[in-house]
Amino acid sequence: MKSVTVQYVNVYLPHKRSRKIKNYSYLTKMDRSSKDIFNPSIIEDFYPTRPNNMEDVSLYEFVANYKFDKIGENGEREYKLRSKPVLPNHRKFNPMQDAERDDFYYSLIFLFVPFRDESTLVMEGETMEEAFRHHIEASIRGIKNHFNKLQKLLEAERNWKKIVDARNKAGFTEELPDNKEDDEPQLLGEIMEAVPDIADMHINVPNLTLEQREAMLNVDQKRIFDKIKSHLLSQKEREDLLENESSRLLRLDNIKPLRMFISGVGGTGKSFLIEAIKCLVDDIWHPKSSEIMCAIVAPTGIAAFNVGGLTIHRLFQLPIEHEGKTAGYWALSKEAQKRIKMTLKYLKIIIVDKVSMVSNLNLAYLHMRLEDIFGTDEWFGSKNILFLGDLLQLPPVNGRPVFNKISNKLVKTRLGAANAVNI
């Protein structure tokens, strides 16, 4: 998905920021007492003086979704929604480095907390981290519209704190045991990766029609969407034929399941594409509220929230980690298998986001679980499946990436057989 317009936003602290001066010829004609020497900018001029009806619009939303329209009758600038949002790009700071921790917290506040006067974002005497938490507390007291994203970031931070507290209680030193992996950079990495994806959710307006969503897709998104749409329409047509007595000889499995990998870094519109695909499935099959036809999953709670889905482990009841190690594969009990079969009876397509964080072992577990649920030895239970993400981004917390072959040792100890599946 390359056809995305990118606009840079300078998220540095005010004293670290530079501004562009007006050209020399203009400056020579200015009154000597004038201090108006800088070119107008989004941060210092346009955003702080936005119209009153945009009071609750954050800087990120302002850059992504709005553009200048005209000067109104009252002399103020007026803005209109972009036909296609742009991607605000900015410096990504690493909170694990002391020199960048303040910049990290400030950049989140600066991008996602609406303001008129930037100096009000951090109170005198506050650290950047304290200011970040105070803004989240304010959101809990009622400012929900634009702070939901920050609450999710706080959830990730709390998980991080739990890990640190648990280690401290257990008497861990800064050096972790050989069989343990340090989760803190991983969780903080999730926070940083979540920012563009959460911002992408602003585009996912729930009441948009399928036609409106299609019209908002960029060239690459549309190409992918059209391929998926064509396949699903063919599948629905075959299903309809199978319902007729005269078509009993037709077999639905003549249509091979769709299996796609869709690559794209955070903020390139994957969340919007996922929502469009879900809307497409609803439009084709018209499911009842209790029928799951499009299962959207991700490897972690944060990633799943960003795309309105569940974790892979929760939906498909996969083995989970214990003491830093992934458990071996186990079959569901008869009762559990019956229940999950009923839950997924109408399933048409599975969408797995943030595939870089899915280990090769968990990918094999997913395939084996779908085999069990749908009673077939076809790949992934013979269901349509889409994998989205950037394989160069966050790796699995424990385990090897999906593109690595599973070792013979793991095949024997985790999959239970030397000739078990190796995707």
| Least confident piece of the model among 35-39, 75-79, 108-112, 373-377 | 35-39
Res 146: pLDDT: 44
Number of alpha carbons in the 13 Å side-chain half-sphere of residue 144:
1
More confident position, 227 or 317? 227
Res 251: pLDDT: 56
Query: Using CA atoms in the order 66, 69, 70, 74, what is the torsion angle rounded to 10 degrees?
Result: -40
Res 205: pLDDT: 47
Res 3: pLDDT: 57
More confident position, 216 or 158? 216
More confident position, 53 or 40? 53
Phi, then psi, of 331 in degrees rounded to 5: -80, 150
Residue 49: strand, helix, or coil: coil
Task: Determine what percent of the chain is predicted with pLDDT higher than 70.
Answer: 73
Mean model confidence pLDDT for the chain: 77
Asked whether the predicted pLDDT for residue 75 surpasses 90, the reply is: no
Highest mean predicted confidence (pLDDT) among 290-304, 306-320, 334-348:
334-348
Res 70: pLDDT: 84
Residue 261: strand, helix, or coil: strand
Highest mean predicted confidence (pLDDT) among 23-27, 149-153, 353-357:
353-357
Res 199: pLDDT: 43
pLDDT digits (tens, 9 = 90+) for 207-229: 678 998 898 888 889 999 999 99
Residue range 294-298: average pLDDT? 90
For the entire predicted model, the pTM comes to 0.54
Residue range 387-412: average pLDDT? 80
The tokens of 121 are what? Answer: 């974002």
Task: Tell me the DSSP string of 357-399.
Answer: GSBHHHHHHHHHHHHHHHT--SGGGG-EEEEEE-TTSPPPSSS
Asked whether the predicted pLDDT for residue 389 surpasses 60, the reply is: yes
- Residue spans per domain, the chain: 1-22+30-180, 205-414
> Quick check: 284 and 228 in contact, CB under 8 A?
no
Beta strands in 109-214 (DSSP E): none
> Quick check: 375 and 321 in contact, CB under 8 A?
no
Q: How confident is the model at residue 278 (pLDDT cuts 50, 70, 90)?
A: very high
> Quick check: 106 and 16 in contact, CB under 8 A?
no
- Rounded Cα distance between 252 and 245, Å, is 15
The distance of Cα 103 from the centroid of its chain, to the nearest Å, equals 22
| Least confident piece of the model among 9-18, 223-232, 249-258, 345-354 | 249-258
> Quick check: 408 and 362 in contact, CB under 8 A?
no
In sequence order, the 6+-apart residues with CB closer than 8 A to the CB of 195 are 108, 111, 149, 153, 266
Q: What angle do CA 346, 350, 355 make, to 5 degrees?
A: 165
The tokens of 244 are what? Answer: 């007729």
| Least confident piece of the model among 23-27, 120-124, 359-363 | 23-27
Beta strands in 182-315 (DSSP E): 259-263, 294-298, 310-311
pLDDT digits (tens, 9 = 90+) for 83-102: 888 888 888 888 778 888 89
More confident position, 197 or 112? 112
Query: What length does the chain have?
Result: 423
In sequence order, the 6+-apart residues with CB closer than 8 A to the CB of 386 are 228, 258, 259, 260, 261, 262, 277, 349, 350, 351, 352
Res 106: pLDDT: 92
Which of 3.30.43, 3.40.50, 1.10.1790, 3.20.20 would CATH assign to domain 205-414?
3.40.50
Q: How confident is the model at residue 188 (pLDDT cuts 50, 70, 90)?
A: very low
Number of alpha carbons in the 13 Å side-chain half-sphere of residue 289:
0
Res 330: pLDDT: 79
The distance of Cα 97 from the centroid of its chain, to the nearest Å, equals 24
Asked whether the predicted pLDDT for residue 350 surpasses 90, the reply is: yes
Asked whether the predicted pLDDT for residue 136 surpasses 90, the reply is: no
